[in-house]
Structure 1
Amino acid sequence: MNSTSIMIKTTHNESTSTTINITNYESTSTTINITHNESSYNMINSTHNESVSRWNLASEDQDFGQSWINLVVGCILLTTTTLSIFTNGTCLYIFFIKRRSMLTRINSYIAVVCILAFTKAIIGYPMVISSSFAGYWLFGDAGCMYYGFLMTTFGLCTMFTLSLISVDRYLMVVLCRFNGLSINSFSISAISGSILLSVILAMGPLFGWNKYVREGLGTTCSPDLKLTDALSRSYLTVLMIVAFVLPLAVMAFCYWKIFSKVMETRKNLFPGNKHTDTPMSMTRKKNINLEIKLALTLVYIVVTFLLCWAPYSVTMIWAIVDAKSLTPLLISIPSLVTKLGSCFTPLVYMGRDRKMRRVVKENFECLRSETENIISNQNEIVRPAASNVNTLSTKAHTKTKSSCNQEKMSKRSKSSAKTGLGQTINETIV
Structure 2
Amino acid sequence: MIVSNVSLSGCAEVNSAVCAGAAEGRLGGGSYRTTLTPTGNLVVAVCLGFIGTFGLLNNLLVLVLFCRYKMLRSPINLLLINISISDLLVCVLGTPFSFAASTQGRWLIGAWGCVWYGFANSLFGIVSLISLAVLSFERYSTMMGPAEADSSNYRKISLGIVLSWAYSLVWTTPPLLGWSQYGPEGPGTTCSVDWKAKTTNNISYIVCLFVFCLIVPFLVIVFCYGKLLCAIRQVSGINASMSRRREQRVLFMVVIMVVCYLLCWLPYGIMALLATFGPPGLITPEASIIPSVLAKTSTVVNPVIYVFMNKQFYRCFQALLRCETPRRGSSLKSSSKVATKAMRGVAVTGARRTNDFLYMVASLGPPAATLPQLDPSCEPTIDISRAASSDKPAAVSLVAHFDG
TM-score normalised by L of structure 2: 0.71
- Please name the residue that 2:273 is paired with: 317
Question: Contact (CA 8 Å) 2:143, 2:336: kept in 1 or not?
Answer: no
> Distance in 1 between the 2:38 and 2:97 partners?
17
Q: Does residue 422 of the first structure (1) align with residue 333 of the second (2)? A: yes
Q: Does residue 146 of the first structure (1) align with residue 116 of the second (2)? A: yes
> Distance in 2 between the 1:174 and 1:74 partners?
46
SS of structure 1 residue aligned to 2:127: helix
- Please name the residue that 1:361 is paired with: 318
Q: Does residue 206 of the first structure (1) align with residue 176 of the second (2)? A: yes
Pick aligned residue for 2:201 from 231, 236, 247: 231
Question: Contact (CA 8 Å) 2:34, 2:106: kept in 1 or not?
Answer: no
Q: 1:89-116 CA deviation, whole Å, 9 max, x = no partner?
A: 1111101x21132122222211111111
> Distance in 2 between the 1:103 and 1:170 partners?
20
> Distance in 2 between the 1:424 and 1:172 partners?
7
Kindly state the Cα deviation for residue 190 of structure 1 after the two structures are TM-superposed.
Answer: 1.4
SS of structure 1 residue aligned to 2:296: helix
Q: 1:172-195 CA deviation, whole Å, 9 max, x = no partner?
A: 222335524445322111110111
> Distance in 1 between the 2:140 and 2:52 partners?
33
> Distance in 2 between the 1:245 and 1:350 partners?
24
Kindly state the Cα deviation for residue 134 of structure 1 after the two structures are TM-superposed.
Answer: 0.9
Question: Contact (CA 8 Å) 2:174, 2:180: kept in 1 or not?
Answer: yes
Unaligned runs of 5+ in 2: 1-11, 20-32, 341-358, 360-404
**Higher helix fraction (1 or 2):** 1
SS of structure 1 residue aligned to 2:236: helix
SS of structure 2 residue aligned to 1:227: coil
SS of structure 2 residue aligned to 1:266: coil
Question: Contact (CA 8 Å) 2:101, 2:189: kept in 1 or not?
Answer: yes
> Distance in 2 between the 1:238 and 1:251 partners?
19
- Please name the residue that 1:352 is paired with: 309
Unaligned runs of 5+ in 1: 1-52, 276-284, 367-407
> Distance in 2 between the 1:236 and 1:54 partners?
30
SS of structure 1 residue aligned to 2:297: helix
Question: Contact (CA 8 Å) 2:233, 2:247: kept in 1 or not?
Answer: no
Question: Contact (CA 8 Å) 1:70, 1:217: kept in 2 or not?
Answer: no
Deviates more, 1:338-347 or 1:302-311: 302-311
Question: Contact (CA 8 Å) 2:115, 2:182: kept in 1 or not?
Answer: yes
Question: Contact (CA 8 Å) 1:291, 1:425: kept in 2 or not?
Answer: no
Change (3 A) 1:72 1:290: same
Q: 1:24-47 CA deviation, whole Å, 9 max, x = no partner?
A: xxxxxxxxxxxxxxxxxxxxxxxx
Paired residues for 1:99-248 under 5 Å: 99-248=69-218
Kindly state the Cα deviation for residue 294 of structure 1 after the two structures are TM-superposed.
Answer: 6.1
> Distance in 1 between the 2:184 and 2:122 partners?
14
Kindly state the Cα deviation for residue 223 of structure 1 after the two structures are TM-superposed.
Answer: 0.2
> Distance in 1 between the 2:65 and 2:250 partners?
19
SS of structure 2 residue aligned to 1:422: coil
Q: Which has the larger radius of gyration?
A: 1
> Distance in 2 between the 1:64 and 1:244 partners?
29
> Distance in 2 between the 1:343 and 1:188 partners?
24
> Distance in 2 between the 1:55 and 1:321 partners?
25
SS of structure 1 residue aligned to 2:149: coil
Q: Does residue 327 of the first structure (1) align with residue 296 of the second (2)? A: no
Question: Contact (CA 8 Å) 1:88, 1:115: kept in 2 or not?
Answer: yes
Pick aligned residue for 2:55 from 74, 84, 99: 84
Change (3 A) 1:265 1:420: closer
**For residue 140 of structure 1, what is the amino acid of its counterpart?**
G
- Please name the residue that 2:394 is paired with: none
Question: Contact (CA 8 Å) 1:211, 1:223: kept in 2 or not?
Answer: yes
Q: 1:266-324 CA deviation, whole Å, 9 max, x = no partner?
A: 33x35xx4x8xxxxxxxxx68x9668746754653343133111100111221232151
C-alpha RMSD of the superposition: 3.1
Pick aligned residue for 1:72 from 19, 24, 43: 43
- Please name the residue that 1:304 is paired with: 260
- Please name the residue that 1:342 is paired with: 299
Question: Contact (CA 8 Å) 2:93, 2:120: kept in 1 or not?
Answer: no
Q: 1:243-282 CA deviation, whole Å, 9 max, x = no partner?
A: 1111111111111111111111233x35xx4x8xxxxxxx
**For residue 201 of structure 2, what is the amino acid of its counterpart?**
L
Q: 1:380-411 CA deviation, whole Å, 9 max, x = no partner?
A: xxxxxxxxxxxxxxxxxxxxxxxxxxxx24xx
> Distance in 2 between the 1:221 and 1:263 partners?
46
Question: Contact (CA 8 Å) 1:210, 1:232: kept in 2 or not?
Answer: yes
> Distance in 1 between the 2:107 and 2:65 partners?
36
Question: Contact (CA 8 Å) 2:144, 2:337: kept in 1 or not?
Answer: no
- Which structure is richer in relative contact order (CA contacts within 8 A, separation 6 or more)? 2
Question: Contact (CA 8 Å) 1:84, 1:117: kept in 2 or not?
Answer: yes
**For residue 49 of structure 2, what is the amino acid of its counterpart?**
L
Change (3 A) 1:266 1:104: farther
